[in-house]
Amino acid sequence: MRAPPTVDVNLFAFNSVETVSAAVDSVLRQTWPGVSVTLIDDGSNDGTAQLLSEYAACDRRIHLKQNRCNGGAIAAFQRAFWHGNADFVMPKSADDIIAPDFIERAMRVLLSTPACVMCHGAGIVFTGAGQARGAYPSEHRLLATGGDMLARARHVMERYTSSPSFWGVYRRAAVDRLSPIRYCAGWDHVLLAELALIGEIRHDPEALYWRRDGWQASP
């Protein structure tokens, strides 16, 4: 029997010692069998690097990369796309968490729809105490489909509003075609619009992405 495609989850962190354990644990609990994890420490000085080292020592699925100094969120995100060689990649922040079946459900969409280059989940906001605070509106989800690539890109620019529709599982063949990320306001809009020129962006309607209230994850 053929092994399921591997998804590289590339989680980047900077001074996130209070939240990163929950983020990493949510990845390690995924029901999809082919998950590898790259932890990228971006020059932390608060104990995050040591915590990530402990995770890497205990789980063979984890690879650790440590930057000597902090390069900022955009550079960290670019590295998250570049690391690994699996057919699918998921960039991940150190603040938010994902449902145990996030990757499985996203892969179900990606594997059944070859034209789809990224799938994300619906999102909710939760507090530090673990209580749901509210759901993101359904109109925040992206459904850039069909053969007209300009219409897909226009859909993204008109609809993209919140982070749950950014932190999805990406098809690496599409990611490899993206331009290097430029340091500018709205860079995430540009990235998703360019991605939509390459292929479809879809979503799963279940609340699979949980954003931590009060933390400034980018984007």
CATH of 7-212, one of 3.90.700.10, 3.30.43.10, 3.90.550.10, 3.40.50.10070: 3.90.550.10
Neighbours of 139 (CB within 10 A): 7
Using alpha carbons, list the distances in angstroms from residue 72 to 24, 42, 51, 76, 218. 20, 8, 20, 6, 10
Pick left, alpha or beta for residue 160 (phi over 0 → left; psi -120 to 50 → alpha; otherwise beta).
beta
Mean pLDDT along residues 43-65: 93
pLDDT at residue 65 tops 50: yes
Q: Report d(CA 36, CA 9) in Å as an integer.
A: 6
Paired with 92 in beta bridges are 11
Is the CB of residue 210 less than 8 Å from the CB of residue 179?
no
Using alpha carbons, list the distances in angstroms from residue 16 to 24, 59, 165. 11, 20, 22
pLDDT at residue 93 tops 70: yes
The predicted structure's pLDDT at residue 217: 40
Tokens of 145: 């489909």
Mean pLDDT along residues 7-35: 95
Higher-confidence position of 184 and 96: 96
Neighbours of 196 (CB within 10 A): 26
Angle between helices 149-159 and 187-198 (to 10 degrees): 150
Mean pLDDT of the chain: 90
pLDDT digits (tens, 9 = 90+) for 161-213: 988 999 999 999 999 999 998 888 889 999 999 999 999 999 999 999 999 87
Mean pLDDT along residues 55-75: 87
pLDDT at residue 85 tops 90: no
Q: Report d(CA 123, CA 135) in Å as an integer.
A: 6
Q: Report d(CA 62, CA 112) in Å as an integer.
A: 28
pLDDT at residue 50 tops 60: yes
Residue 120 CA from chain centroid, whole number: 8
The predicted structure's pLDDT at residue 218: 40
126: pLDDT confidence band, cut at 50, 70 and 90? confident
Q: Report d(CA 81, CA 67) in Å as an integer.
A: 16
129: pLDDT confidence band, cut at 50, 70 and 90? low
Q: Report d(CA 142, CA 79) in Å as an integer.
A: 24
pLDDT digits (tens, 9 = 90+) for 25-47: 999 999 999 999 999 999 999 99
The predicted structure's pLDDT at residue 130: 64
Mean pLDDT along residues 52-80: 87
